[in-house]
Chain A
Amino acid sequence: MSSGKPLLSQSGPLSAPQPHPIHHNRHSSLTISSLGCLRHTTSISSSIADETLDDNLYDLKEVEEDTVTTTVSRNSREGSAFWPKRKEYRSAELHLQCPRRKRKGLVSWGGVADSWLDISALEVSGTSSRVQDNLNKSRRSERFLQISMQLAESITHHDNPRLIHINDPIKTNEKDDFSGNEIRTSKYTFLNFLPKNLFIQFHRVAYLYFLAIAALNQLPPLAVFGRTVSLFPLLFVLTVTAVKDGYEDWRRHRSDRNENNREALVLKSDKFYPKRWKKIQAGDVIKIHSDESIPCDMVLLGTSDPSGIAYILTMNLDGESNLKTRYARQETNNLVLEGSTISGIVRCEQPNRNIYEFTANMELKGHRFSLSQSNIILRGCQLKNTEWAVGVVVYAGQETKAMLNSAMTPSKRSRLETYMNRETLWLSVFLLIMCLVVAFGMGLWLKRHEHELDTLPYYRKSYYEKGKVGKKYKYYGIPMETFFSFLSSIIVFQIMIPISLYITMELVRLGQSYFMIGDRDMYDSSTNSKFQCRSLNINEDLGQIRYVFSDKTGTLTENKMEFKKASIWGKNYDCRLSLTGPSGVEGEDAKFYKQKWRLKSEIFPNSELMTLLYKDLYGEEKIAAHDFFLTLAACNTVIPIVSECPSSGLDCTPGDSHKSIEYQGESPDEQALVAAASAYGYTLFERTSGHIVIDANGEKLRLDVLGLHEFDSVRKRMSVVIRFPNDTVKVLVKGADTSMFSILKQSHPSDDPVICTTQSHLNEYSAEGLRTLVVAARDLTDEQLAEWQCMYEDASTSLTDRSIKLRQTASLIERDLTLLGATAIEDKLQEGVPEAIESLRQAGIKVWVLTGDKQETAISIGLSCRLLTTDMHQIIINGNSEDECKKLLCDARDGYFLKSASCCDQIPKRKKSAEIDYLEIPSNTKSASPQLHAGQEDGPTSRPLALVIDGNSLVYILEKDLESELFNLATLCRVVLCCRVAPLQKAGIVDMIKGRTDDMTLAIGDGANDVSMIQMADVGVGICGQEGRQAVMASDFAMGQFRFLKRLLLVHGHWNYQRIGYLVLYNFYRNAVFVLMLFWYILCTAFSTTSALTDWSSVFYSVIYTSVPTIVVGILDKDLSHKTLLKYPKLYAAGHRQESYNMFLFWITMVDTLWQSLVLFYIPLFTYEESTIDIWSMGSLWTIAVVILVNVHLAMDIKRWVVITHMATWGSIIVTYGCMVVLDSIPVLPNYGTIYNLGKSPTYWLSILLITVIGLLPRFVFKVFHQIFWPSDIQIAREAEILRKRRRFFES
């Protein structure tokens, strides 16, 4: 309890307000849900931060809208009165007030707000409360909730801390049994493999179907097949899957064993001894040397560096290749360096999977200090550039963040598969009809022969004993017999439902993924990453994408920042100018610049600015410039890595004291800014947790960092509190312009020339597509400092809601700032982005860009990546209220379309035409142009439209009835740019399109803010870029560069779609033709469900005789080469038109199937009419005929014959013959010897030839006339491709 108490005090202010009378009105919201609690929390928090309420108000307004603001303002009045009382009921009867469970939820959401999720979390609260308000819950917000709940789930609550006794694993583990460091990624052990694997496998409906059929067959009256035979299909799939699972698991076992048996140095009675990883426990102290992997999550105690820095490579965890710094607390680091033992307690949150978050505190010799993300090193990382590091294990084994993160993404189902299920339903109807026909036929036949049945030689319903009719033999009366006949016909016709198709598709997709991963043109050499298929279910969806939603930063752009321009004290400096500047000045520059430090990146400083900085003239401008660059150098989290003269340096002469410096940081913007500052003579070269050292024009400045408020997406700024050597304290702030201008010292906002000019510069910059940041500073008085320090200490050691508290603390000092200037950074476009976008557009794919950037930046990037062209009409919607948005939408609509009525009429029409298009025969390409342009044609304006909309407007539009208006407008525009959108809004836009059209959507992004969008879209693509792996983890496919999207969709998407589409149709046909053939025969056997085929052949048909070619074709066949597909992006429209799989094709295939089955049945029937043919010979003929027929059918459709295809197709026929010879060579089977006798007869061979030719003739004729006279685009392109190649061949 003693340990629990301080903790409670942390959460005190959070839920304490209940006793206070003014909060009664919100009492109810506390009990609603955890979401309600969250809303409650935020409002309270703002009331605590009474002094900075305005700022908070601003922020909250942005995300939460008016619902919360009213509450906040009500609190504000009482805020100051509330403040001093706070401490009194800090540790109050919290337990009693808020039931434990609610408190949990509340705390956990507080935790959420810490991380990148906070925007979404806050917004969910807004959404949900509105939903509660007006009871008509929209479907979408529910889905929003689901998503954010999913995300939130990943972060577990930590109201119940785990206690780690440093260097005392026994004590640590005695109370709670923390998991050891042994990891087990394997699912099975040797003993539980069989039951567990079977259990997991039977979760699939397909296997249950097999099981049900097999079980039916075991019933005596229904035994159609032999008992063992009927179990074969089930056993086969079970064994195949079990072997696959077993092999995978064995590999996992092996890698687990390797992992578990690695060794690490563990402290034991004052010395480090090697210990196996699996023996390590929480509480152990471990020493790790450079380049070693970290065995578990541990809090750093000390490193070889006196300032306690350790560099780690988190490649394995989040894919980022830059080094990250982690700090040992100075307190412990000193102890470690002294060599004394540390004994203390670490209190940390329960294990969770958020790798970007860690809250804990440490109690050491009575002192308590906070630990955060920067103090922990996680399993899977590597120690770099640090001789050694010592840490205490806090999470081990399965509880490490790396292990908790290894879950797969939820699986999606492809569009084609959904359609396929619809057709499967039709097949079930056919199955039912056939079974009913057989059952009724049986009933009628029995009725007609009722009196003969006793003696009928081929029925004999009774036993005869001693000349008298005895008991019945397998006869249960006509109704029962009819029913049994129904059931047994289900058994016979079971493969009508193509269950094996699901397994086939899985294998085929696996093969397709293999080729996608192996594609060298989708390998990114800069990040050394291959294409990744994280989801195996939606390969074919890639061929039907209609909408691409793309993030901007890091997706379209490289996310490698370059400092371009600066506006300092109202004056614009262009950093590129220096190149053309006089050479003398440049030489002078070089003197300053190359004095001491060598940077990796190259920046050419602006000479004018340089001279300003080096002038000794004191003036506002000079001071501002000085502060400006000081802020750039100091206000960041970048780590300088100093190394002596790099070996590869060209002009590195011995004795040269120049040092090379490399900046490692999590934000590329910051790196660019620090590098720029260095270029202007303000070089950051040392950073510890307590201070930074800056080389300012040759003068070493040691600045104490009193506190640092990191960047967060609510404040959109970061600040540091710095104590200068002369004891003045300054707050240095940089942040987004929207969040900065409101907190500037505003004497006369309009009068201040600096603010005015800076603002105009900012607009200029963003118009050029540059990313801007505003830099400002402020002096702190001692009182302000003291107040802030008090609050900061409290907030930063708090375990719960630390970020909210920190945010309040930050708002205490982030105000009344003096504007220094602004920076402009260029975010370069990735290679090949404009071309990729152009191709996608030609392919009929709409590319929407959703970005968090400013409108101007978004438009300029849109222009530079050719998304927008100058001839486009830009419709810009940025309203600040519902009415305004409505008006803007209406104006836009009225401006570009004659009247709203016609606009609304168009939509259903358009949809209808789209449907017709879908049903079109592939041949009918006359009107097969992408129909999305139909709408445009109808509009009176011929110029293409571009819609630019910002996040604020989206708030009003998406939540209200305006959504449909926006949709109507947006779908008529060729380009849609959404700027300033929050992550959940991105998902909202995707959802809007998903909900209102049948079109496939794809979302591509690289950052954590794209996760919700990626999960919402039909296909989510992650870019493994600079911003970590969150997006990749949530995605279905991941790749290194945006431009690969072109190849992924146009080439692989097209191939996969075409392959799977054919595969499905062919499988339907293949099974149906077989079943129909059996059905016709059963009509000739007095409806007795006899199969002429042997049991084994019936079972082998879909498993062995015909399965391999379909798989091979599904993986290897391709209609067009990638060159052609990339050259003519419009060919992609085949997927939009659903050319490879649609209802029409299904019915055509079924008609063809019917014809072929009739041919299969009647040719032998007439040939052997009134002959001596026996049932097994007939069956043998049918077996081989159907196998040849379906394989030749396939062969006719194969577009690309490689050796493997030949082997599979013709090999199947040979294998079938082989199997039949084997089956006919077993004397105990009734069909013994059949094939030998049959093979001697020419009639047999003639029949097979005849069946094949007649069966396929209509198909062939149809195909020929279709291809020659009504060719599809793909057909033409194929001819062109092949003929061109042939011509070249003949010419050479």
Chain B
Amino acid sequence: MSSGDGVSQSSSKKSKKPRYSRFTQQELPACKPILTPGLVISTFIFIGITFIPIGLSSLSASDAVVEIVHRYDEVCISSNANDDEAAHFARIGYIQDDRTNKTCTRTLNVPKKMKQPIFVYYQLDDFYQNHRRYVKSRSDEQYKSPENEQKTKTCEPEAFNDDRKPIVPCGLVAWSLFNDTYTISINGNTIPINKKDIAWRSDRTHKFGSNVYPKNFQTRGLIGGAKLNESIPLSEQEDLLVWMRTAALPNFRKLYGRIETDLEANDKITVVIQNNYNTYSFDGKKNLVISTTTWIGGKNDFLGKIYITVGGICLFLAIAFILVYLLKPRPLGDPAYLSWNKDPASY
């Protein structure tokens, strides 16, 4: 569109003919894949031969994990009630009573050698940490900086204490902080559980303020769980940080701490549990989990099995396809298969 030309031409008659470009004429260079039998077979085989090794390696990784799971909520409570109903209330009464001694000692067997680091988790079942009321009941602004102490609007019903002072950290999530404790020893020797660095780094450094201290916490009539040391800033209350990353599913584990010594096979470990946390009111279960990890995480065969299955199916499909294709071959793009050629009478 040189301007000089345009002027002289427009005076006579401007052609409205669309200008040619490969774009406007829909003729851009294009890749047009079609499903040739070769492509199909190689796709199936490719998926098969990549998935099976992945499956095998994740299965072996999962196998390498040594895991001790011990449910203690029922054994750590003495209840002599006959019927379920009474037992239920007896348990609640027991757990809500401050005065009773809730110490409970369990002995566990190490099935295989466990290399450090060994992770100690607590596992809660049927605890809906993903309930909408629960998930929403927090104020990340408040946790981050002391100026936002008053920003508790989202924290109901645990926003203020009885004196209308804001609770720090506010919200149901913080209020219901898990408060069972475990002490592990082998043959009387206490094995230290390292509780540092159990929360995410990002949580410790940015999300929770290092100058925000707990205030008015657990001061109302109903105690939900652990109390916090008011002299330690939130960013260092790692149990809280772990707890505040609410779980996705109703059965979940949370990291309690790390054991940094190896455990030998058939070691008898003694765990002293302070059974404080009330899951009895909603029939939730509590487990202690001691486990090693591999690249795949904890013990879970699912990934490995499903990878192998899918890989197998794909190989099977490849073979099936070859067989069917041999029985009923169709040359690609053969006009004889066009509907009007196949059935000329109809036209």
Contact = CB atoms under 8 A, between A and B. Distances in A.
Contact of B330 (A1084, A1088, A1179, A1269): A1269
Interface stretch (B180-188, B265-273, B321-329): B321-329
A1084 B249 contact: yes
A852 B156 CA distance: 80
A650 interface: no
B297 interface: yes
Contacts of A1172: 121, 247, 252-255
A1232 B30 contact: no
A929 B144 contact: no
Interface string B212-227: 0000000011101100
Contact of A1268 (B37, B158, B281): B37
Interface stretch (A108-116, A517-525, A803-811): A517-525
Nearest to A1166: B302
Contacts of A1201: 30-33
Contact of B18 (A520, A1130, A1250, A1278): A520
A899 interface: no
Contacts of B43: 1260
Nearest to A463: B157
Contacts of A937: 345-346
A973 to B, nearest CB: 16
A452 B221 CA distance: 16
B84 interface: no
Interface stretch (B1-9, B73-81, B105-113, B135-143): B135-143
A1264 B325 CA distance: 11
Contact of B307 (A1116, A1250, A1265): A1250
A1175 interface: yes
Contacts of B162: 465-466
Contacts of B141: 1228
B317 A1261 contact: yes
B131 A1200 contact: no
Interface string A641-672: 00000000000000000000000000000000
- Chain B CB within 10 Å, residue with most, of A518, A926, A1232, A1276: A1276
**What class of interface size applies to chain B in its complex with A?**
35 or more
Contacts, number: 291
B131 A1282 contact: no
Contacts of B253: 1170-1172
A458 B302 contact: no
Interface in B262-318: 278, 281-282, 295-298, 300, 302-303, 306-307, 310, 313-314, 317
Contacts of A1204: 28
Contact of B134 (A458, A1092, A1277): A458
Contacts of B324: 1265, 1269
B297 A1243 contact: yes
A1044 to B, nearest CB: 13
Contacts of A449: 282
A861 to B, nearest CB: 26
B210 interface: no
Contacts of A1168: 248-249
A460 B255 CA distance: 25
B196 interface: no
B325 A1280 contact: no
Given A518-B18, A1233-B207, A1257 B313 contact: yes
Contact of B35 (A927, A1267, A1280): A1267
B342 to A, nearest CB: 7
Given A467-B222, A1172-B253, A1088 B300 contact: no
A629 B172 CA distance: 104
A1250 B302 CA distance: 11
A13 to B, nearest CB: 50
B123 A530 contact: no
B250 A1084 contact: yes
A737 to B, nearest CB: 40
Interface string A1066-1105: 0000000000000000001110111010000000000000
B140 A1229 contact: yes
B17 A1090 contact: no
B99 interface: no
B128 A1088 contact: yes
Contacts of B220: 464-467
Interface string A436-480: 000000000000010010011111101111111000011000000
Contacts of A426: none
A520 B221 contact: no
Contact of A457 (B29, B172, B201, B297): B172
Contacts of B135: 1090, 1175
B147 to A, nearest CB: 13
A1232 to B, nearest CB: 5
Contacts of A1268: 35, 37, 40, 325, 330
A1273 interface: yes
B58 interface: yes
Nearest to A1051: B26
Contacts of B335: 1276, 1280
A1174 interface: yes
A1084 B303 contact: no
Interface in B227-263: 245-255
B194 to A, nearest CB: 16
A1263 B221 CA distance: 63
A281 B317 CA distance: 82
A933 B345 CA distance: 10
A1088 B131 contact: yes
A1230 B201 CA distance: 14
A1205 to B, nearest CB: 8
A588 interface: no
Interface in A976-990: none
B25 A473 contact: no
- Chain A CB within 10 Å, residue with most, of B17, B127, B128, B140: B128
A787 B246 CA distance: 103
Contact of B248 (A929, A1174, A1243, A1260): A1174
B83 interface: no
Contacts of A473: 156-157
A1092 B307 CA distance: 25
A1253 interface: yes
Contacts of B246: 1174-1175
A450 to B, nearest CB: 12
Contacts of A467: 220-222
- Chain B CB within 10 Å, residue with most, of A455, A474, A1230, A1278: A1230
A1090 B132 CA distance: 5
Contact of A1232 (B17, B31, B140): B140
B306 A926 contact: no
B56 to A, nearest CB: 13
Contacts of A141: none
A66 to B, nearest CB: 46
B32 A933 contact: no
CB-CB nearest 3 A-B residue pairs: A467-B221, A1233-B202, A1280-B333
24 contacts: A452-B281, A452-B282, A456-B281, A456-B282, A458-B127, A463-B156, A474-B156, A518-B18, A519-B18, A530-B16, A530-B18, A1085-B130, A1165-B249, A1169-B300, A1171-B300, A1174-B245, A1257-B313, A1257-B314, A1260-B43, A1267-B35, A1268-B40, A1268-B330, A1276-B335, A1278-B333
Given A459-B131, A1264-B321, A1276-B338, 13 more contacts: A455-B222, A458-B133, A462-B157, A528-B17, A928-B339, A930-B346, A1085-B128, A1177-B248, A1204-B28, A1237-B202, A1242-B296, A1243-B296, A1268-B35
Interface of A: 224, 449, 452, 455-460, 462-468, 473-474, 514-515, 517-520, 523, 525, 528-530, 925-930, 933-934, 937, 1084-1086, 1088-1090, 1092, 1116, 1118, 1122, 1128, 1130, 1133, 1163, 1165-1179, 1199-1204, 1227-1230, 1232-1233, 1236-1237, 1241-1243, 1246-1247, 1250, 1253-1254, 1257, 1260-1261, 1263-1265, 1267-1269, 1271, 1273, 1276-1284
